[in-house]
Amino acid sequence: MKIVPVLLSGGSGSRLWPLSRAVLPKQLLPLVTEKTMLQETLTRVSSWANVADPIIVCGNDHRFLVAEQLREIGLSAQSIILEPVARNTAPAIAAAALQLLGQDVSLLVLPADHVINDVASFEQAVRTAALAAQQDQLVTFGIKPAHPETGYGYIKRGTKLESVPGAYSIASFVEKPNLVVAQEYVASGDFFWNSGMFLFKPETFIAELKEHAPEIYAAVSKAVDASYRDLDFLRLNEEAFATSSSLSIDYAVMEKTKHAVVVPADIGWSDVGSWTSLQEVQDSDAHGNVARGDVYLQNVENSLIRSEDRFVAAIGVKDLIVVETSDAVLVASKDAAQDVKEVVEYLKQNERSEHKIHPRAYRPWGWYESIDMGDRHQVKRIMVKPGEKLSLQMHHHRAEHWVVVSGSAMITVDGNTKLYSENQSTYIPIGSTHRLENPGKLPLHLIEVQSGSYLGEDDIVRYEDTYGRS
């Protein structure tokens, strides 16, 4: 029986602000290695025997980034399912399971943003779980606790499964405990961290979903039946999917079913849910520091210092988190790492953009970033990948000047097309229909100077688009 990895890539990772943001969340960032969290999760299981191409479930805003990150590591997905609205893990998993009914496979459900250091032990745990799944069990992976942790839910194991050595029935699921209770759990040896990873046959899961959360099954079934292909993506019907309850798989199925089992796993696992947990999974220096980027440390202890854009110097401090990006800086005590989400709420309530977007915005054709802005002007750097092109478009309120910095640009303005090379420029008046294309084999870099009464990204009328954007 084949195993199909199902990667859930819909989280926002707000506790890892300012690096993780709504349009570029932590699973799409290179936090631990040079690969993104999504790429690490994919490569971790792709080489195993009897593992099929993955299914990825993500939001519409992330679809091109997910596809590009797959391409970068030379992997392909059998399906990239787009959730029209966020509805938690049960509906997302249901959409993938419905796609796989009748295919003699098991689903290996994995959050896209976890760290697993002992991959060999994880593979063995998956093989054990696969035996239980073949017996129509719904398997979750319980992580052997490294310490009393108040930020995770716990699973209490029950009796051993005689038919599957290494698997246990589940006595109970337990919410996040206080420190005293967590210490008792760890001391007993009967409790495991709830990893949020699962393995089961699609038929088994759908049957239990029908019984315990029929409204979710009904809504997602309609959304899948009315789904359609859009380029490389599968779009679920928005109206039907939106009627589903927003429930986790634990609440919807696992805590109610009689077929839940747990496979203990000691695999060097972390959900990387905060800056302190990110520090814990990285190599530190002799003073307990984790530094990344252009950083200078002097007399610093037990701190995480990360620079993305500028030089950062830290002197005579300890137990600090310092994270610098081009438009925001976080400085926090390690004891307050969980409170970073409150900064995100502040930004939302004050209608600021720093919780949502980065200065560099990624598009299917490349990226752009704003480097200067005033009342009636904005300057951007633009990169267009070889062979890609922007939509044929028009602006009502702004004119644009384009200067080619490197590469070749094929530019169309009001039906006239001309090839531009390094140091050449052109002007696009307000209301002119235009398109930018890179016909070369190297990335195209150019500077765009906008001027006008309104410079918002919503001032775009698209007439034609390779990527199906309206």
Q: How far apart are CA 209 and CA 95, in angstroms?
A: 12
Domains of the chain: which residue ranges? 2-270, 276-347, 360-464
Among 185, 188, 145, 192, CA closest to 167: 192
- CB distance 380 to 363 below 8 Å: no
Integer angstrom CA distances of residue 269 from 11, 24, 296: 18, 23, 30
State the Cα angle at 28 between 74 and 445, rounded to 5°: 75
User: Where is 411: in which H helix or E strand?
Assistant: strand 409-413
Backbone angles phi, psi at 372, to 5 degrees: -165, 145
Superfamily per CATH, domain 2-270: Spore Coat Polysaccharide Biosynthesis Protein SpsA; Chain A (3.90.550.10)
pLDDT score, position 13: 82
pLDDT tens digit at each of 470 positions of the chain: 899 999 999 887 899 999 999 999 999 999 999 999 999 999 999 989 899 999 999 999 899 999 999 999 999 999 999 999 999 999 999 999 999 999 999 999 999 999 999 999 999 999 999 999 999 999 999 999 989 988 899 999 999 999 999 999 999 999 999 999 999 999 999 999 999 999 999 999 999 999 999 999 999 999 999 999 988 899 999 999 999 999 999 999 999 999 999 999 999 999 999 999 999 999 999 999 999 999 999 999 999 999 999 999 999 999 999 999 999 999 999 999 989 999 999 999 999 999 998 888 899 999 999 999 999 999 999 999 999 999 999 999 999 999 999 999 999 999 999 999 999 999 999 999 999 999 999 999 999 999 999 998 889 999 999 888 76
Strands 105-111 and 191-200: antiparallel
Side by side, which strands form the sheet with 416-420? Answer: 416-420, 409-413, 434-437, 392-394, 461-464
Q: What is the DSSP string of 207-276?
A: HHHHHH-HHHHHHHHHHHHT-EEETTEEEPPHHHHHTS----HIIIIITT-S-EEEEEE-S-EE---SHH
Q: Hey, what long-range contacts does 296-301 have (CB within 8 A, 24 or more apart)? A: none
pLDDT score, position 11: 81
Among 99, 167, 157, 160, CA closest to 134: 167
Report the Cα 403 to chain-centroid distance in Å.
34
| CA end-to-end span of the chain | 41
Tokens 């003699």 belong to 104
Q: What is the DSSP string of 326-383?
A: SS-EEEEEGGGGGGHHHHHHHHHHTT-STTT--SEEEETTEEEEEEEE-SSEEEEEEE
In the chain, what's the furthest Cα-to-Cα distance? Answer: 75
DSSP code at position 60 = G
pLDDT score, position 470: 66
- CB distance 461 to 393 below 8 Å: yes
Strands 377-384 and 392-394: unpaired
Integer angstrom CA distances of residue 44 from 51, 79, 390, 401, 460: 11, 19, 34, 45, 41
Among 106, 144, 103, CA closest to 127: 106
Kindly state the tokens that stand for 357.
């977007």
The CATH architecture to which 360-464 belongs is Sandwich (2.60)
Q: Hey, what long-range contacts does 169-177 have (CB within 8 A, 24 or more apart)? A: 169/260, 169/261, 169/262, 170/140, 170/254, 170/260, 170/261, 170/262, 173/250, 173/254, 173/255, 176/150, 176/151, 176/152, 177/150
User: Where is 100: in which H helix or E strand?
Assistant: none
Q: How far apart are CA 93 and CA 320, in angstroms?
A: 38
Kindly state the tokens that stand for 440.
């070369």
Side chain identity, residue 367: W
